[in-house]
Structure 1
């Protein structure tokens, strides 16, 4: 499913997408290095996980860049289905739904499924160092749970036992896209019912996440407690669709809102909008350091934060998108709409699939422990990013695009 027409209409989407991807690569660079082979892990924990200045990696809320991706996916998916509905005279038919789902599968599955044997073939040829156990376990799992990737249900398989653990995002994303036709149908036929349905979905997602967080005492930052607590974080909360639907739903709502109207009428409203967006982002990051999420004194405020902060973050990104689209983005819109982002955004999906393999491969090849320093992590991030975009370009040209043409 091509997003070209939408990104031409909303060029700032390209910058948001690529910067979110770089944020995720930065987080995985730090996270996977710490899991594999740091010789000073206590220093890494005390600096990277505790200080707000390291929010660009793993400090504060975990992987907000993923929620930006969910927002963009919901926004672009809803825009696509709205266009299909308008072309059919504001009707939603079963044929349209089937076509939309097929196009979504055609967009994500060929490269997703092709990346698994390619990764296994690459890793099987590598002479591993002493830190090979974790990557070996990751790929051995593919022998047993490959079917979860085919069926796009990896979000219901334990992260520790999954084949390509990062594929949970694709499963959630596909499940979320199944809700778009229903919500657009309600929008076309009964707007008040749609508003009620959207409200209930927001409440249900926030409530489910809040209750899970409170009863399991889930950390609101990168989990560092005992092993069961860490596993609960990744398995029961982080990868589950009912906990991650909020940002995607924000994208759907914004797509519908921008279909007909303009919302920023003057500079005063634009200034207020920018202040709100920046304040929301500031609070989402800073509250993670203020609220007490230790198991012994876990508060309801921490659970509520966990339940809503990702959706609130997506709302701030949505506000920035609206401001840029309606001509009040200023220099930030110029930066986000830069032509270089357009090129990189076209290979961003392949980059998302490739970057964990590159990082795992690098870590698994090491024969000595890695010493954490900011400059070392920065060099790793630069190297992983360059290799990721190079590999992403190759996968897009040699795998993704040919499959897209074959399945047309």
Structure 2
């Protein structure tokens, strides 16, 4: 009785962490910052969901032969197939926001306060990732069907390697048996976050040369890595004597590798520092240079997306050197094109593009995008696990995508309110800086 009378406010505060009314208000996004980033983040996660919808729809399609002969060569499906570039967009945004939000603190950033710097990032990602791992590990108890045996392989891996997913090392420790295969992005992002913080800590006031050297060094490392291993791009680009081992090498050694994924991240860091320097002023550019940059960005983005066209794949199949250069550089080209778009929008040269990306409807999707990325793939695999056949065409794909996206938004909202917001509140005392008493 004494304890309850002594600390009623603490009990009330603890119970309020689970208040639906309070946690729902945390879903609102405050105005300001860089509004165009909301649209880019929202469209990127929707692009990834569409790609996964396409892959799941083709999994049990009755027109697989028609897909292989006709659908893959049609121009309208190239945009869907290039959805993997949205992950590189996330790397650009991650590097940008890392520098843009902490550029003013680089002088005070030291080895002493790096653990707290990392802890803040880890706690931010932990609640929803832990919930996704737990859900995936318990999946055989949730669903069943004709193909549930195949789907049960990943839950088994989650029970065995859950720790590698939560520690963001699964792309290095167990790349062939990852828990939540699509969460490889979080592992690579955390690893690049650790390296970039060390880079900023060592740079001090020399941020420009440090970031420029990092971007060039990462690009050179990606080139050397790809030319050394001579990767084959996709299963449609494999030689006649291909084997399952060759596709596994591509995914484990190239696709999940932080070396080849780092250039977009460091390009985003360079962009973030540029925007931080120009936060209070506008860079005046002549019209011809603006149009030239827009034309170059458009050409780069189109070339990157057309690299998956069957005609281009045939060219890369015949020329290994060209394929190596493509695998090493086309993600950097995409990052440069996206970087110019962001720079133009923030400096007042975006026009209707900035208006579209800054629309209020993107704010909410961007707010729940992290949860959508984690849980949308789990939702999309449930219909296949319970059986059924599909017919793959654009109309069916759009219908499937709209349902997947809507379900992902609803589930993400519920998980943020019920899981992320309460845990962030409970873990907040760990993130408070320690205060030293003056003698």
**Could you tell me the TM-score, scaled by structure 2's length?**
0.83
| Match status 1:228 vs 2:251 | no
| Match status 1:114 vs 2:131 | yes
Instruction: Report the equivalent of 2:422.
Output: 402
| Match status 1:151 vs 2:205 | no
* Equivalent residue for 1:336, pick from 342, 347, 357: 357
Q: 1:47 to 1:68 in 2, by over 3 A?
A: farther
Instruction: Report the equivalent of 1:55.
Output: 78
Instruction: Report the equivalent of 1:180.
Output: 196
Instruction: Report the equivalent of 1:380.
Output: 400
Instruction: Report the equivalent of 1:34.
Output: 58
**Which structure 1 residue ranges, 5 or more long, are not aligned?**
none
CA drift at 1:130: 1.0
Q: Deviations over 1:183-205 (max 9, x none)?
A: 32344343545533432222112
1:49–1:222: 8 Å Cα contact kept in structure 2?
no
Equivalent residue of 2:42, what SS? helix
Instruction: Report the equivalent of 1:20.
Output: 44
Q: 1:115 to 1:197 in 2, by over 3 A?
A: closer
2:40–2:357: 8 Å Cα contact kept in structure 1?
yes
Residue correspondence of structure 1 range 240-255 to structure 2 within 5 A:
240-255=257-272
CA drift at 1:272: 1.9
Which sits farther off after the overlay, 48-57 or 293-302? Answer: 293-302
2:139–2:155: 8 Å Cα contact kept in structure 1?
no
1:358–1:388: 8 Å Cα contact kept in structure 2?
yes
* Equivalent residue for 2:156, pick from 140, 146, 159: 140
2:54–2:80: 8 Å Cα contact kept in structure 1?
yes
| Match status 1:162 vs 2:150 | no
Equivalent residue of 2:276, what SS? coil
Q: Deviations over 1:233-292 (max 9, x none)?
A: 222211111121111111111111222245452333222221121111111122443544
**Which structure 2 residue ranges, 5 or more long, are not aligned?**
1-25, 429-439
> Which contiguous aligned blocks of 4+ residues in structure 1 show a shift greater than 6 angstroms?
4-7, 220-225
Q: Deviations over 1:144-181 (max 9, x none)?
A: 11121122112125555221111111100000101222
Q: Distance in 2 between matches of 1:175 and 1:357?
A: 24
2:227–2:324: 8 Å Cα contact kept in structure 1?
yes
CA drift at 1:390: 0.7
Equivalent residue of 2:73, what SS? coil
Q: 1:337 to 1:200 in 2, by over 3 A?
A: same
CA drift at 1:363: 1.2
Residue correspondence of structure 1 range 67-86 to structure 2 within 5 A:
67-85=88-106
CA drift at 1:386: 0.5
* Equivalent residue for 1:131, pick from 123, 141, 147: 147
1:221–1:288: 8 Å Cα contact kept in structure 2?
no
2:138–2:155: 8 Å Cα contact kept in structure 1?
no
2:91–2:264: 8 Å Cα contact kept in structure 1?
yes
Q: Distance in 2 between matches of 1:112 and 1:39?
A: 35
CA drift at 1:40: 2.1
Instruction: Report the equivalent of 1:43.
Output: 66
Q: Distance in 1 between matches of 2:173 and 2:130?
A: 17
Q: How many residues align?
A: 396
CA drift at 1:54: 0.9
| Match status 1:258 vs 2:282 | no
Q: Deviations over 1:203-245 (max 9, x none)?
A: 1123213433x2x333497879643332222222111111211
Equivalent residue of 1:265, what SS? coil
Q: 1:222 to 1:178 in 2, by over 3 A?
A: farther
Q: Distance in 2 between matches of 1:124 and 1:146?
A: 17
**Cα RMSD, aligned residues only:** 2.6
Instruction: Report the equivalent of 1:360.
Output: 381
Q: Deviations over 1:296-315 (max 9, x none)?
A: 73431121011100111011
Q: Distance in 1 between matches of 2:385 and 2:102?
A: 43
Instruction: Report the equivalent of 1:92.
Output: 109
2:317–2:323: 8 Å Cα contact kept in structure 1?
no
* Equivalent residue for 1:279, pick from 299, 321, 324: 299
Q: Distance in 2 between matches of 1:57 and 1:223?
A: 21
2:47–2:83: 8 Å Cα contact kept in structure 1?
no
**Could you tell me the TM-score, scaled by structure 1's length?**
0.89
Indicate the structure (1 or 2) with the bigger Cα radius of gyration.
2
